[in-house]
Amino acid sequence: MKLTRCLTALAAAAALSATFSATAAREYSVSTVLSDAFPWGQAAQKWADLVEERSKGEITLRVYPNAQLVAGDQTKEFSAMRSGLIDMAVGSTINWSPQVPELNLFSLPFLMADSSDLDAITQGEAGKLAFAAIEKRGIVPLAWGENGFREISNSSKPVKTPADLAGLKIRVVGSPLFQDTFTALGANPTQMSWADAKPALTTGAVDGQENPLSVFDVARVDQVGQKYLTLWHYMADPLVFAVNQRVWKQLPEADREILRQAAIDAGKWEIELSRNAEAKRLEDIRSRGVEVTELNDEQHAAFVEATRVVHEKWANKIGTELLEAARAAIAK
């Protein structure tokens, strides 16, 4: 009888222990658009690794690359996270801008000249306002990452002036601002997901595309006819490490701190990684026979002037307070 009671007690203790372990070990989904072959995907994986280490295995972030949690449609990622279908994400300001109009700030053509301008925005008052806009929509932003400045390529000719873009079909993401920018430059912007872009470039359904050097390099865009690349730095695409608001509220404060600090550290690591790789990427791209054009000041000014109308159209949609904060940060 005593043995039976003892075994029963042990079984109950084991069940309680198992329940506690199941409660202690938590797993969350993390969405990204690119895999860990790219700095973007590496940022998400670094976040997951740091959280795993610092939580001593009690928190697991399972990374789902290639926007697979939204069937490849990257512009739906923010909505899916807000609704709770996705717990967390390392997302792009471009892809989230349809739901958070303020994030179109970063897509304004030729607003930022270089990484110093970008840092001045993200690390200052403008960055805080951008994060507040995200949080207002049900997502908690934790840290910045970077997808890099976007350059333009095509299969037809070198692009040195706005006139060179006339009539070219350029693949763009699903953002009205991109449509306006390339229309202002005389091109024919064609919206499609990145999953559809390479086949379209292969068949010639579109003539060109715009992406950071990391995407051009790793995805071997030169293999689908993109033989002309122009370094015009027309916009940057910061990444945001973020968590669904309901998930965030359910977490103990200690877990929140682990997630936040790990995101900050992963973001800094990825930004440095991405920037340090630029020179080598460009060297490799040139070695594969791609003709690279670097704009001089006069050529750059012509693109700035041609897209000034886009700034005027989008200022109110982005918000004058945010836009003024960004311009003030750059001016400093």
Residues 244-287: tens digit of each pLDDT: 999 999 999 999 999 999 999 999 999 999 999 999 999 999 99
Handedness of CA 118, 120, 121, 123 (dihedral sign): positive
Taking 3-state DSSP, the helix, strand and coil percentages for the chain, each rounded to the nearest 5, stand at: 55, 20, 25
Model confidence at 17, in pLDDT bands (50, 70, 90)?
Answer: very low
Tell me the β-bridge partners of 29.
Answer: 62
Q: Are the C-beta atoms of residues 224 and 201 closer than 8 Å to each other?
A: yes
User: How buried is residue 192: exposed, middle or buried, by Cβ count under 10 Å (0-12/13-18/19+)?
Assistant: middle
Angle, nearest 10°, between helix axes 115-122 and 125-136? 60
- Placement of tokens 């993200």 in the chain: 122
Three-class DSSP category at 236? strand
- Encode pLDDT of 90-132 as tens digits: 999 999 999 999 999 999 999 999 999 999 999 999 999 999 9
Separation between Cα atoms, residue 105 and residue 26, nearest integer Å:
36
Please tell me the predicted confidence (pLDDT) of residue 193: 85
Q: Where are the beta strands (DSSP E) in the chain?
A: 26-31, 59-64, 88-92, 139-154, 169-172, 188-191, 208-212, 228-231, 236-244, 291-294
Model confidence at 24, in pLDDT bands (50, 70, 90)?
Answer: low
| Domains observed in the chain | 27-331 (3.40.190.170)
Please tell me the predicted confidence (pLDDT) of residue 123: 97
Q: Are the C-beta atoms of residues 281 and 214 closer than 8 Å to each other?
A: yes
Separation between Cα atoms, residue 141 and residue 131, nearest integer Å:
6
CA angle 270, 233, 141 (to 5 degrees): 40
Going from the C-alpha of 327 to that of each of 41, 101, 105, 155, 232, the distances in angstroms are: 30, 17, 10, 35, 20
Please tell me the predicted confidence (pLDDT) of residue 174: 81
Separation between Cα atoms, residue 289 and residue 79, nearest integer Å:
41
- Encode pLDDT of 179-235 as tens digits: 999 999 999 999 998 888 989 999 999 999 999 999 999 999 999 999 999 999 999
Of 224, 232, 234, 231, residue with least CA distance to 288: 224
Is residue 50 over pLDDT 60? yes
Is residue 2 over pLDDT 80? no
Separation between Cα atoms, residue 171 and residue 127, nearest integer Å:
28
Quote the distance between the C-alpha of residue 256 and its chain's center.
22
